[in-house]
Amino acid sequence: MTEARIKIAKTDIVKAFAQEESRIFKESDIAAILEKNRAFWRLRRGMSAGEFLAFLLEQTNLKKVSFDFPNRKIIRYVWGQVPLHELLMTLQSNCYFSHYTAMYLHDLTEQVPKTVYVNQEQPAKSRSEGAITQDRIDMAMRRPVRVSGNVVQHEDYRIYLLNGKNTGNLGVVEMDSPEGARIRVTDVERTLIDVTVRPVYGGGAFEVLKAYKLARPKVSVNKLAATLKKLDYIYPYHQAIGFYLERAGVYTESSIALLRKFDFKYDFYLTHQIKEKAYSERWRLYFPKGL
């Protein structure tokens, strides 16, 4: 009797899901839809959300998508076909695309990356005031760069869910994805800073340099410098940014000079574990030979 009733209601159930504003659901969303429509569909009071969900997965266009991250499994249910960028925007509240993914979305790369970076900012915490010294910088940059292990394979893509520095969503904007979905992503200036700080998440130093070249018509160096100051990093990333701007060969000297207004107290490095180093006197920066 119960199975017959839900089958009779199937047409109305499908219509209701097709009319939902979003095509992406959590289990709690499906439970809420059930409770809202239970009486109209004449479903028994004892029918659980789990039973209803099982019916939807077996009898309708609803599909289960599981992201088995090492830190936490995240399950979503999608109605029909949903673009990947739109789906990933639901992984965490207030998350946004960053690094290589933001480079791609802003046309700062000629590649079509198969790795996607989604950033969820950490809660605000007090800044460590450990003294920075040249010895500490040298030691840190001789070590392998830290790479998040919170990654999962999804179809042809590797999805990283990063726990990023708390910035209050500084430089995060809304834009349309290539598929037309409304998404959140770091702006051009914040993206260039992020991939300078973590070139491993931007395809490496050579790809980051190309991003600086491609960014020329879109970027405000004034805004870039102001954003860097607000991010308040301990390490002197302005030296790497200034180097990239200069080496890109497409920026005016007056723009590049904005990065010279920062302090220059230490030698710094473009990336970790540089095997064959060259040195820029102007930027007090070690970088890979051939860059």
Average pLDDT over residues 94-109: 98
Tell me what pLDDT residue 223 has.
98
Tell me what pLDDT residue 5 has.
82
Alpha-helical (H) ranges within 42-180 are 49-59, 84-88, 99-105, 134-142
Give me the chain's average pLDDT, please.
95
> Same domain for 57 and 196?
no
**Does 209 score more than 50 pLDDT?**
yes
Tell me what pLDDT residue 128 has.
61
Using the 3D structure, point to which of 58, 79, 100 is the last residue of a domain. 79
Per-residue pLDDT of 172-203, as tens digits, reads: 999 999 999 999 999 999 999 999 999 999 99
Six-digit token string for 1? 């009797």
Tell me what pLDDT residue 131 has.
80
Nearest of 94, 97, 60, 92 to residue 79 by alpha carbon: 60
DSSP state of 234: S
Q: Structural domain tally of the chain?
A: 2
Tell me what pLDDT residue 289 has.
95
Q: What percent of the chain has pLDDT over 70?
A: 97
- φ, ψ for residue 92 (rounded to 5)? -145, 155
> Same domain for 37 and 115?
no
Using the 3D structure, point to which of 29, 50, 79 is the last residue of a domain. 79
Using the 3D structure, point to which of 79, 114, 129 is the last residue of a domain. 79
Confidence of residue 218 (pLDDT cuts 50, 70, 90): very high
DSSP state of 131: P
Nearest of 245, 246, 251, 164 to residue 201 by alpha carbon: 164
Dist. CA 21–CA 13, nearest whole Å: 15
CATH number at residue 97: 3.30.460
Range of the domain at 68: 2-79
> Same domain for 98 and 224?
yes
Average pLDDT over residues 132-149: 95
Tell me what pLDDT residue 1 has.
38
